[in-house]
Amino acid sequence: MLRRYVDRVDLALPDNGIDALIRIGATRPHLVMDVYMPGLDGLDVCRRLKENVATSDVMVILASARMTPELERKAKEAGAGRALRKPLDIAAILDEVGVAVRGT
């Protein structure tokens, strides 16, 4: 599914908020998707990323199998560009956001 992105996307799967913040601060990705972090942990990570000058421009998309209007509102208040219901098609999202070629 993601083969067409192999030269442009490095996939990282931190499974908790602390690891996510450390990795994102060190690697400065183009896009962050909270797909696996349960509860409000992803909201807190998003909020911290957006409050940090060094990572405030990183695009964040929060996803949840239990996406509600309330959770979507909280995600956007935390700084997420989008809030999506799972399951989702990651390749379609990468196409939509126009993943830049690494190094540009």
Query: pLDDT (tens digit, 9 = 90+) per residue, 7-63?
Result: 776 667 677 778 888 888 888 777 777 655 555 578 888 898 899 998 898 888 888
Residue 76 within a domain: yes
| Residue 102 belongs to some domain of the structure | no
CB atoms within 10 A of CB 6: 9
User: Could you tell me where the DSSP H helices lie in the chain?
Assistant: 17-27, 41-51, 69-78, 90-97
Rounded CA-CA distance 53/34 in Å is 20
What pLDDT is stored for residue 104 in this prediction? Answer: 40
In the chain, how many domains are there?
1
104 inside domain: no
> Residue 102's pLDDT band (boundaries 50, 70, 90)?
very low
* Segments forming the whole domain that contains residue 86: 3-97
**CATH label of the domain that carries residue 92:** 3.40.50.2300
Whole-prediction pTM value? 0.72
pLDDT at 103 over 60: no
* 79/39: higher pLDDT: 79
